[in-house]
Every structure is written in C-alpha cells, then in structure tokens.
Structure 1
Amino acid sequence: MDKFASMQAFVQVVDTGGFAAAARAMGTSRSAVNKLVIHLENELGVQLLHRTTRRVNPTESGLAFYDRCLDILAALEEAELAVSRIHQEPRGNLRINAPMSFGILNLAPAIADFMADYPELQVQLTLNDRLIDPIEEGFDLTVRISEASDFPGVITHTIAAAQQIVCASPGYLAKHGTPSHPQDLHDHSCLSYGYLSSHRQWRFMDGEQDITVPIHGVLCSNNGDVLRQAALRDLGIVLLPSFIVGADLGSDRLQRLFTSYQLPSLNIMILYPVNRHLSTKVQMLTEFLKNRFQAIAFEP
C-alpha cells in the first residue's frame, strides 16, 4: 500500500476532524480513508487517532507523526512542483468556492479566460452564499468577501477591495422621499444581506465619527442579486457592493445615497488551507486574479 497515500489520508483526518470529511476532501470513500489510516497504524505499531462517535483526535504519538508527515508531504510536493515548473503548465483538478453574485459576475469570466490558456486544467467551481470551511470541504482555493481580513485556520491573501453602496430606485424615492442623513433610515424600508453582521444595522463614517443605524425592512436575503432585484422594483433601500450595483448606478436605475458619508470597504480575499503547500496552478491563478481585479478597482 502507498505509504504517501496513507500519510495524506492521516493528515486529512487530523485537519478535518473526521473520516467522512477527509474522504470528501480527498474525493474518495470513508472506508478507503479508514483503511489507509489503519494500515499506517499497523505498520508503525502505534495508535495514531482517538476515535469517538463525534470527533477524531490525534494521540500524542499521532501529533508527533502528524508534524513529520507535514514536512515529508511538503517535501514531496516541492519535488513534484520542481518537475512541473519546468513546463510551468497548470494542469489537473482545481476546486474553487466563491460567493454567488461575485462568482457569476466577475470570477467565472476570469476563470474562463485563465483556462483558455491552460487546456490541461479542470476546474470545479462551486458558488454559494454560505460560510464554508474550505479545509473540511476540500477546496483548493476559496474566495471570500468581507470587512474582516483574517480568518482562523487559513492563509488569507487580499487581492482587491470593493466599495459598499447605499442606493434605491428613483421610483422608491419618489414615493417615500430621499433620506439626507443615515438616521433617516429609521423611516424607510431597508433590504438587508443575511450573512453580514450589518444585516440589522448599517455603519457609516462622518470623518472621525461612527454612525450606526438599526434598520428594518420587508426583505432579508443571503444573495445580493435578490436584493438588487428587490431594490429595482421599488421595495426599499439597499446596501450592496459596487460590483453588484455599479451598472445600475451608471444607467440611473438606482440612485446612490449618502455620498458625503463613508462606509467600510469590503476585502476580496483568497483563502488557502494553512497546512497545505500551494501548487503551481493555485499560485498562478491567484496572481492572475489579483492582476485582473486590481485593474477593475470595483468602483461605481
């Protein structure tokens, strides 16, 4: 049995905390992962893992062996990369996760352009608007958009920034009036994004002064395009990234509000598992996306 495969399976089990999650990350069955780890324990003559019904944790011997496995597997990957860099050709499978709206509007066209140059690359692009664990779900590269810039257990690389925009349709403003100060939002229907901490309050900055305004409205969603469509249909005032509403602002379908106030910008980030060496394809795609999105600037 391949000892490197057994070591990779063991590392995945420790990283993800279970055999099922490790199997998903490796694209194989739970029984196959279990077999690899048992083979490793039999060869070494020690128990590497404490197994319970809820969680799998490394033993003292397992922790020591885990650290050495990371070094050995990193050295193996370095050797493989040294050979692949001779051709500098991204190839093989690449699993990517990204938010829905950004993925459709911006990331998918960029990845298509990247793949056109590298026909040996196969990409699995998963789009959703829930917070995922990139390690447990086995993604090589995860795009996340947030005011925060640091997440536990992963390496974070900021590639661009996007402005947040408060706006509404001319029809809504004609019916309900145009607010001139953030506190006026108390009298308006606000459409909120369900996964952000700001879904119950919006934060503005006026010089050195922070203004936090509780909001309420008829619609809360975890998808920016849903909120954009609602705003276009006169349902309320919306706070969305510039890459979602920029075209609507340019065509006057939406009108920007509170232009004399600042809002926190959003970091567009790429996340990698902290204990995984970056492959050539991940490094090259990251650099490609950074150059592409910094050139766009995501300003309305």
Structure 2
Amino acid sequence: MDKWAQIEFFLQVAESGSLSKAAERLGMSSAAASRCLNALEERLSARLIERTTRRLWLTDAGHEYQRRCAAIMAELAEADAAVSEATVNPTGTLRVTASVSFASIYIAPALCEFHQRYPNVDVQIVAANRYPNFIEAGIDVAIRTRECEADSGITVRKFAETRRVLAATPGYLARRGTPMTPDALAGHDMLVYNLANDPYVLHFSRGAKKQSVAIKSVLDANEGQVIRAAALADLGILIQPLYIIHADIVAGKLVPVLTDWRLPALTINIAYQSRRHLPAKIRVFTEFLIERFERLGLARRWNEIAP
C-alpha cells in the first residue's frame, strides 16, 4: 500500500475514532486495516495511535501527523478542484459551523433553496458556540460573531452587524417594573449569556455618554436559546443579539428596554481557510448566504428595534 493510501486511512481512523469504521469507509477488510496502520507506524518509526479492545486515541505524534496530513490532503483536493469540473459544477460535502441559534434560525431554513441550486453539494452542520479549529475539525465555512481570527490563514468576510438589546416579557415587566436607567438593572433578575465578552459588566453608550454597570444573574447559560426560553417563561431580562430575538419582539413576546442606550454591537462574519483556488463548494455557499441575507434585509433587521 502506498504512502498516500496509508495517510488517507490514518485520517479516516483519526476522524471516526475507529479502525473498523475507517476500514468500512474505504472498503478494506479488518486485517488489511491493521496491516496498513502497522506499516505506516513502522515506516515512520513512531506510534501514532494507542488502542485497547474498547477504544483508541491519538498519541502526541499522532495529533501532529494528523494536523499536517489534513492540511496536505486539503491542498491536494484543492488542486484537483482547480482543474476539474467541480469548479463549475460544485460537488462534495461542505462542513459548516455556526452557533446553535444561527444554525437553527438562518442556515437550516436556507438549505432547501441552496440544495435546489447545487444538488451535488451535501451540507453538514456543526452547531457549536465555541469555535473549533478549522483544520482539526475539517471545517469549510464558519459563521463568526467576532472581528478577526487568530489564524492568519483564515479569510474573514464581514456581512452584517447585529445590535445587542435587553428585553423581557410583558408579564415580567408588569410584575417587576420597567428599568428606566442602566443603574436600575441592579434590582432586576438578569439572564446572562456567559460566553460573551465580559458577560457580567454591561458597557452602555448614549451619544457621547458612557456607563458601565455590573450585573448579577438569576440564570447564566452558554446557549442563547436557553436564555431566550427562560426569558419567554417570565424569568427575567435577557441580553441577546437581535438576530436571535427579532421575531419575538415583532410578535410582542419580548419587549425591549433601555432602548435609548446601546451596547457594543456584534460583527457577523463568514470565515474560511485562505486559498489561492477556493473550492467551488465554499465559494458558491458563501455567495449564496450573502445574497440571501441581502435579499431578506437581515442586516437591517438586526440593527433596528421593531416598534
């Protein structure tokens, strides 16, 4: 078996966490799979995978080999795509990551239209509120709500900003009153998204005036939909970007408060690995999302508080 076949098999094992699953994907017998891994480790004079009858895991050398080989295989795939029909007829599996809220509200509903345009592209969604490493997770496109990526090999395209607002149900506000100043939040039950930057200090601005207010939470969570559900159950005042709660505000389920004060906005970006020849599946998906969001006027919605 040549070295490229060995590398492909190793990457399949690392991704699936199973020799048998990797063998099945590549149409190999279990015996051939074991021989392949043994031959690779012998060629490298290094142990890449530790395994017992119950599980297997990568050694430090295995993690490093996976990182480097995944990058090399991605470059090979890019080279193939650059000179193949895929440049005009996108094909393959596209792995997209976004927060649970963004994936549920905006990406999943768009996939029917995308599939009609590009039927040969299959989409996998990795919903996560923390950002996985592009190469290790095999990510093609990521939706981000921060201004830049630490990795200089990542291309970031800004396509919208979203205002962050405070809101609560009419029932909660009737029971506890509506805060009229930032300082009044000290007397309210706050629902906090704990992955935000500095989640327990709110930095307000109104014109040239700035004010920072420390808050305490009756609930904090690492998922916006949990915060939203608690607010809709009259638990307290949430702090969330408009892209998550715009429909609730329009429907009157949530009422914005302190609307004359602003919190720092979030920048929403599309990120992907920087490549000279961008695979067609990535190019058409990013262009599709940008076109769809512009058509639906989402950037405007995410910056306006509905009356």
Do they fold alike, i.e. is TM over 0.5?
A: yes
Measured after TM superposition, the shift of residue 101 of structure 1 is 1.2
Match in the other structure for 2:91:
91
Match of residue 15 from structure 1: none
User: Unaligned regions of 5+ residues in structure 2, if any?
Assistant: 24-29, 51-56
**Aligned positions, number:** 285
**Structure 2 Cα separation of the partners of residues 211 and 34 of structure 1:** 63
Q: What's the counterpart of residue 303 of structure 2?
A: 299
User: Secondary structure at the residue paired with 1:293?
Assistant: helix
Determine the structure 2 residue equivalent to 1:74. Answer: 75
Q: State the Cα deviation string for residues 105-135 of structure 1 (Å, max 9, x = none).
A: 1111122211121221222223233443332
**Aligned-partner residue type, residue 299 of structure 1:** N
- Equivalent position amino acid for 2:148 in 1: S
8 Å CA contact 1:168, 1:231 repeated in 2: yes
The Cα of 1:49 is off from its aligned counterpart by 9.6
Seen in structure 2, the aligned counterparts of structure 1 residues 279 and 23 have a Cα distance that, compared at 3 Å, is farther
What percentage of aligned pairs have identical amino acids? 32
Q: Note the residue ranges of structure 1 that are not aligned, 5 or more in a row.
A: 13-18
Name 1:149's counterpart in structure 2. Answer: 148
Q: Distance in 2 between matches of 1:71 and 1:296?
A: 38
Residue 60 (structure 2) aligns with: 56
User: Residue type matched to 1:149 in 2?
Assistant: C
User: For the residues of structure 2 that align with 1:253 and 1:68, how far apart are their CA atoms?
Assistant: 50
Deviation at 1:51, TM superposition (A): 9.6
SS at match of 1:110: helix
Using the size of structure 2 for normalisation, the TM-score is: 0.74
Please, what TM-score do these two structures have when normalized by structure 1?
Answer: 0.76
Work out the CA distance in 2 between the residues paired with 1:153 and 1:29: 32
Shift of 1:237: 0.8
Question: 1:73, 1:226 → 2: CA distance?
Answer: 36
- When structure 1 is superposed on structure 2, of 46-55 and 261-270 the one drifting more is 46-55
Equivalent residue number for residue 26 of structure 2: none
**Alpha-carbon separation, structure 2, partners of 1:254 and 1:229:** 11
CA 1:282/1:243 → structure 2, altered by over 3 Å: closer, same or farther?
A: same
**Cα distance change, pair 51–120 in 1 and its aligned pair in 2 (3 A):** closer
- Which residue in 2 is equivalent to 1:119? 119
User: Which one-letter code corresponds to 1:218 in the other structure?
Assistant: V
- 1:168·1:237 contact (CA, 8 Å) conserved in 2? yes
Residue 27 of structure 2 is matched in structure 1 by none
- Which residue pairs with 2:253 in the alignment? 253
**Pairs within 5 Å for 1:1-300:** 1-5=1-5, 21=14, 29=22, 56=60, 74=75, 77-85=78-86, 88-145=88-145, 147-152=146-151, 155-157=154-156, 158-273=158-273, 278-294=278-294, 295-297=297-299, 298-300=302-304
Comparing 112-121 and 30-39, the one that deviates more? 30-39
8 Å contact kept, 1:96–1:123: yes
Aligned Cα RMSD in Å? 3.9
